Amino acid sequence: MIFMTKKEYAFIVLLVLLVFSCKNNTSDNSDKAAKVLPQDTLTRMVVNLEIINLRAEPGTDQPVVAELKHGTELETTGAISPVNTSQMINGMRREEPWVEVKTADGTQGWIFGGGVKIEGAQNTPVASVLRKERLAGFFGPEKTRQILQYRTDFHSVENPRDLENVFIRGTILRDSLVQKISEKIEITNHDRLPDVSWIEDAMPGFTVGMVAEGTRYYLFQDYGKMSAWASTTTEEEDDAFFEFMGFVNAGQDLESFYPVWFEQTWDYGGYSLLGEGQHLAVLNKMEKMMETRQLFRNPILKLKMKLLKDILNSPTGAYGSSAEKITEEIEAILAAEFNVLSKSEKNSLAIRKEQFSEPGKFGLKLNLKSAL
């Protein structure tokens, strides 16, 4: 048996702790070799920060080779660092690797991935790796897998049924991403907004826009982009659907929280346009779509429920028109005998029509359009 003094024991414990501390160190100075992606001569990048340091090796503590200004064009060598660095850039936490690049004058070094934007070809080896790392650092590995699968499927669309599938899946996926976007991006300076173009690249068919009086971002369906993709298929069902969605959104390409049957008066609300014929017009188009088309039925029925909610249970209880005009439109809807409406929905509409004869009793605010 070997006996140690207290000093010898303390020395051994200190040595073991030091070894494990070095082994578990995940700082930028990792001695792991960089990932090298051969045959990537197509990736081009551009600096999208006011100024960023080009360094001799990956890491914020490495020597600065040059200071690069916004708009500087870069060419990649195919090398990417094996570990990521976390940095807050313009209110967005970016956890990304370092990319080896060279400038137009031949200066070579490493640049933080969160400070550059990919230009031109988007599916090169370097662009693909950087995209995956960006998404994983922001959304996590499982959501990244879903996003990349959606992106692949979107760009593989060949017919309207394919597009219907990715539209529905993309909508569900989007709904699970917006909370993360809201949580991880803090808008503090509108003169220095974060780059969100990489989110749009990963989610084709969507556009990132500001909401809540410019305090947070939201991922909107972009019917212009969807319609452009639909035009590449031979059938017309997808074209008709996105044309319909454009009509529902008052002729705008971007999805709106407030459809054509609602008048938005501020960021968080407004009043219903029931009585001006918009609800009837949308139902007419829905009826034709459901009679002649087999695809996109679920999104259409979901939209029908939103329209009925505006008539039967408006969140604000506020309407722009008079009781007389509102009653006329509901009567026209009932007279049309739309197949897209169930018997119980028609009964609910008939009951709602009667309530407009006593608006005060049912908490209905009318004639708001003339009051403005």
pLDDT, one tens digit per residue, over 277-293 is 999 999 999 999 999 88
- 269: β partners: 266
Instruction: Compute, in degrees rounded to 10, the torsion defined by CA atoms 109, 113, 116, 121.
Output: 100
The pLDDT score that the predictor gives to residue 371 is 63
The pLDDT-based confidence of 267 (bands split at 50, 70, 90) is confident
Burial degree of 183 (CB within 10 A; 0-12, 13-18, 19+): exposed
Amino acid at 226: M
Tokens of 3: 């006996």
**37 band by pLDDT with thresholds 50, 70 and 90:** low
Lookup: tokens for 149: 């699968």
pLDDT at 3 over 70: no
Q: Which residues pair with 86 in a beta bridge?
A: 95
The predicted structure's pLDDT at residue 13: 38
Q: Where are the alpha helices (DSSP H) in the chain?
A: 6-23, 125-139, 141-154, 160-184, 197-202, 223-230, 237-248, 278-292, 297-312, 323-336, 343-355, 368-371
Nearest residue to 341 (alpha-carbon basis) of 371, 296, 315, 311: 311
Q: DSSP label at 270?
A: E
The domain ranges of the chain are 35-122, 140-233, 257-372
Nearest to 128 by CA among 102, 93, 83, 97: 97
Whether residue 126 contacts residue 76, with contact meaning beta carbons closer than 8 Å, is answered with yes
Q: What pTM value is reported for the model?
A: 0.84
CB–CB of 74/111 below 8 Å?
yes
pLDDT of 372 reads 56
Class of the 35-122 domain? mainly beta
Instruction: Transcribe 71-83 into DSSP letters.
Output: T-EEEEEEEE-SS
